[in-house]
């Protein structure tokens, strides 16, 4: 039973407008929102807001106070208004007679307790109610005399999706997953490449000011109809458009150029809160983002609205620009890449999102996790948006089911085909790779800072009959169903390129090539090994090493060749992510067969250590300051300039920038930051270091913040 309310806290009520009215009317003197009780019951107590935030499909409690005793002769109606022009016909205005049934299918309200001049009311919105900000109006009729309160412009009820409600389309029947995908304010986004998976801690901060208001404002800015805001499918599609700035001046400007002087380097962001705060305050796009930033902000927006969501990383992610579900690489007869034809690419990694929901627009079995992407890559229906696409449909090659399943299928399961394009004849296929795209698809595990591999959600095991059938089915619905040419014969000389497993930036590294002669005859091979700096999107930047090898392979023989590369060759050309691409181009003299291959790796940077001196980390009381030390050692033989630390943590520290001095070669850098927790629970401090010469140095630390239990009134 709901405890009886003593209406004492003005922060929990609205004060209606009191016009000059007859004494016979039953006037409402106050409406109390029962903030503390309702927010605990609705899993919204973490929101930094003085407003009432509830979830649809679940009762919430109000207390009404009157100027005279409430009697059985009184007629009482509650009105809930959302949007600029509320109408009953489109669901933006609900008139709810008090003592209408709470049947879970429509708006209802019933009296649960009465005092002399007060009543307690239980109100329930249907599980498909419009999500957004509502104003409340109370109407009373006593002996034919009508009285109505005015809408208070400063007091609202926020209605969210309810994944705890089995009739809501985002219902998720697993409490641990709800705690992870709705309630967890911090997480990990995975970056790097398929051989070097790295963690990037992220502050989603969905409960912090002004994330919820910014998320709702995005829907307004997109001119998304209020009447449609009950539908998570359409909301996710709008969010995927509005988190990037390509259309409607959305949240983030994408930038992969390496030039960020007029904004913030993408790797400097620790989370979504600062980005959404800037966007909400300035009403203009924030500079700059790349895929993990778009995804992190998207996760924040959806979790703030109550939709279970997570960030997902696909390593070796294909970008198919022409819709044939194949990554095509074109060379001339000298095996030089033809740049103007090579519009497809393979990203070292790409981060998108998943949201949990039913899909009543698709056949049974296609609900659950839905993939969608806010990074602006290709247009869909004339806008830069992507999804939601059923992960189940993607796995089975059912790319004809909306939305944008074909594009996401290519990202995880395209084949790569190399073509030679002669000047005087048709192009022909020289190489086909069926297993290189879409590996180690990753998300943060439930309840742990560990990586969960969800590759099997998106594709069957590589090379199996089921996987090949899915590819064939998908390609048959692509833009060119007969993309595949005649497969080349099995090569008599096979090769592999071996990149180093881990190299600290600023150090030497060795690349190697292993050749194997499958024939019973001697083979003479000439080849070039080149090394480029590259963006993580697969785009090469600067070639800094080229080496020619001419070797003779004995029958059935094997040989490994090595190339030693020094820092002076690459340091001046490194770009974001510190990625290197190794390319091999070769030819067998005896049969004129050509071969090509590539691999990549990423330099490692030091970890940023976060240490709290002379404190028991298990006891950090709310409101009590503590000092954290941030430190790392410069691994480079050069001075670091334009240095700064970025630090934040949900419930602990609002985003903060700490300017720092130059850091000498190989010097240890240290700074102290004072913080004061404001909310109890398990909290995470997230920080990074940036400079002109070295960036992406990051770290995080989890602490427990405690607070004495308070008494609900």
Distance CA 100, CA 95 (A): 11
666 vs 208: CA distance, rounded Å: 38
- Give CA–CA dist 117/69, Å, rounded: 4
Burial class of residue 97 (count of CB atoms within 10 Å of its CB; 0-12, 13-18, 19+)? middle
CA distance 286 to 132: 24
**Quick one: which H or E segment has residue 275?**
helix 273-282
Parallel/antiparallel/unpaired status of strands 326-331 and 415-420: parallel
Q: Are 301 and 243 in contact (CB under 8 A)?
A: yes
179 to 24, 305, 309, 343: CA distances (angstroms): 51, 15, 11, 41
Please list, in sequence order, all residues whose beta carbon lies within 8 angstroms of the beta carbon of residue 499, skipping any fewer than 6 positions away: 195, 511, 580, 582, 599, 600, 601
165 included as an active-site residue: no
Per the document, the length of the chain is: 713
Cα–Cα separations (whole angstroms), residue 406 to 241, 323, 394: 18, 7, 8
DSSP state of 89: G
Task: Catalytic residue, from 319, 330, 350, 398: name it.
Answer: 350
367: CB partners within 8 A, 6+ apart: 357, 358, 359, 390
At a CB cut-off of 8 Å and minimum separation 6, what does 590 contact? 521, 523, 524
Extract the annotated binding site for Ca(2+).
Answer: 413, 415, 462, 467
Active site residue 373: yes
Residues facing residue 675 across a β-bridge = 626
Contact residues for 710 (Cβ-Cβ < 8 A; gap 6+) = none
Report DSSP state, residue 640: B
What are the distances in angstroms from CA 148 to CA 27, 29, 82, 145, 160?
A: 8, 11, 17, 10, 26
In the DSSP assignment, the letter for residue 179 is I
Q: Could you say which of 25, 165, 287, 291 is catalytic?
A: 291
Q: Which residues of 248-264 are buried (b: 16+ CB within 10 A; e: fewer)?
A: bebbbbbbbeeeeeebb
Nearest to 444 by CA among 191, 703, 192, 103: 191
Do the beta carbons of residue 687 and residue 630 sit within 8 Å?
A: yes
Residues flagged as binding site: 413, 415, 462, 467
Residues 6 or more apart whose Cβ sits within 8 Å of residue 106: 126
- 63 is annotated as an active-site residue: no
Q: Which residues contact 383 (CB under 8 A, 6 or more apart)?
A: 241, 246, 247
Write the DSSP string, 662-702.
-B-TTPEEEEEEEE---S-EEEEEEEEEE-SS---EEEEEE
Burial (CB < 10 A; 0-12, 13-18, 19+), residue 625, is exposed
Catalytic residues, by residue number, are 291, 350, 373
């Amino acid at each position: 039973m709901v405890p009886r309310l003593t209406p004492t806290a003005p922060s929990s009520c609205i004060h209606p407008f009191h016009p000059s009215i007859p004494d016979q009317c039953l006037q409402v003197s106050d409406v109390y929102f029962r903030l503390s009780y309702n927010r605990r019951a609705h899993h919204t107590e973490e929101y930094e807001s003085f407003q009432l935030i509830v979830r649809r499909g679940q009762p919430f409690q109000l207390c009404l106070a009157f100027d005279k005793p409430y009697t059985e002769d009184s007629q009482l109606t509650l009105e809930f208004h959302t949007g600029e022009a509320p109408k009953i016909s489109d669901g933006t205005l609900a008139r709810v007679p008090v003592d209408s049934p709470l049947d879970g299918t429509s708006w209802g309200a019933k009296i649960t307790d009465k005092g002399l001049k007060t009543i307690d009311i239980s109100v329930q919105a249907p599980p498909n109610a419009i999500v957004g900000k509502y104003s409340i109006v109370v109407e009373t009729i006593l002996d034919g005399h009508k009285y109505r309160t005015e809408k208070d412009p400063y007091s609202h009820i926020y209605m969210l999706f309810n994944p705890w409600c089995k009739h809501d389309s985002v219902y998720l029947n697993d409490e641990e997953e709800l705690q992870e995908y709705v309630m967890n304010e911090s997480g990990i986004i995975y970056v790097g490449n398929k051989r070097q998976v790295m963690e990037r801690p992220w502050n989603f901060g969905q409960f912090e000011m002004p994330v919820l208001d910014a998320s709702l404002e995005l829907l307004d800015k997109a001119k998304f109809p209020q009447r449609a805001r009950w539908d998570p499918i359409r909301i996710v599609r709008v969010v995927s458009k509005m988190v990037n700035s390509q259309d409607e001046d959305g949240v983030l400007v994408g930038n992969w150029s390496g030039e960020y002087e007029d904004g913030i380097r993408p790797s400097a962001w620790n989370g979504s809160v600062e980005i959404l705060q800037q966007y909400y305050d300035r009403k203009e796009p924030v500079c700059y983002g790349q895929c993990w930033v778009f995804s992190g902000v998207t996760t924040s927006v959806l979790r703030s609205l109550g939709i279970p969501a997570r960030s997902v990383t696909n390593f070796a992610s294909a970008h198919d620009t022409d819709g044939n579900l194949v990554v095509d690489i074109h060379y001339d007869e000298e095996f030089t890449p033809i740049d103007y034809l090579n519009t497809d690419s393979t990203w070292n990694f790409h981060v998108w999102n998943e949201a949990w929901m039913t899909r009543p627009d698709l056949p049974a079995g296609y609900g659950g996790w839905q993939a969608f992407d806010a990074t602006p890559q290709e247009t869909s229906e004339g806008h830069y948006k992507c999804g939601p696409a059923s992960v189940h449909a993607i796995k089975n090659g059912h790319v004809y089911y909306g939305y944008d399943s074909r594009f996401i299928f290519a990202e995880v399961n395209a084949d790569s085909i190399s073509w030679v394009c002669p000047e005087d004849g048709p192009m022909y296929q020289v190489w086909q790779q069926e297993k290189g795209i879409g590996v180690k698809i990753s998300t943060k595990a439930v309840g742990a800072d560990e990586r969960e591999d969800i590759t099997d959600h998106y594709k069957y095991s590589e090379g199996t009959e089921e996987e090949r059938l899915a590819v064939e089915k998908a390609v048959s619905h692509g833009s060119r169903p007969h993309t595949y040419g005649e497969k080349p014969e099995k090569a008599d000389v096979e090769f592999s390129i071996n990149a180093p497993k881990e190299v600290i930036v600023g150090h030497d590294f060795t690349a190697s090539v292993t050749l194997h002669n499958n024939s019973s005859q001697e083979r003479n091979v000439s080849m070039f090994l080149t090394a480029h700096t590259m963006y993580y999107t697969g785009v090469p930047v600067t070639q800094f090493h080229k080496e020619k090898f001419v070797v003779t392979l004995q029958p059935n023989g094997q040989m490994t060749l090595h190339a030693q590369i020094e820092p002076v060759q690459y340091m001046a050309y490194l770009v974001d992510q510190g990625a290197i691409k190794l390319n091999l181009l070769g030819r067998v003299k005896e049969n004129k067969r050509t071969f090509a291959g590539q691999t990549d790796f990423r330099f490692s940077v030091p970890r940023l250590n976060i240490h709290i001196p002379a404190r028991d980390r298990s006891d950090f009381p709310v409101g009590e300051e503590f000092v954290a030390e941030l430190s790392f050692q410069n691994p480079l033989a050069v001075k670091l300039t334009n240095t700064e630390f970025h630090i934040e943590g949900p419930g602990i520290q609002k985003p903060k920038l700490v300017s720092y001095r130059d850091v000498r070669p190989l010097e240890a850098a240290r700074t102290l930051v004072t913080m004061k927790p404001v909310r109890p629970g398990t909290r995470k401090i997230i920080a990074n270091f940036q400079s002109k010469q070295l960036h992406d140095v990051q770290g995080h630390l989890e602490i427990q913040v405690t607070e004495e239990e308070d008494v609900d009134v």
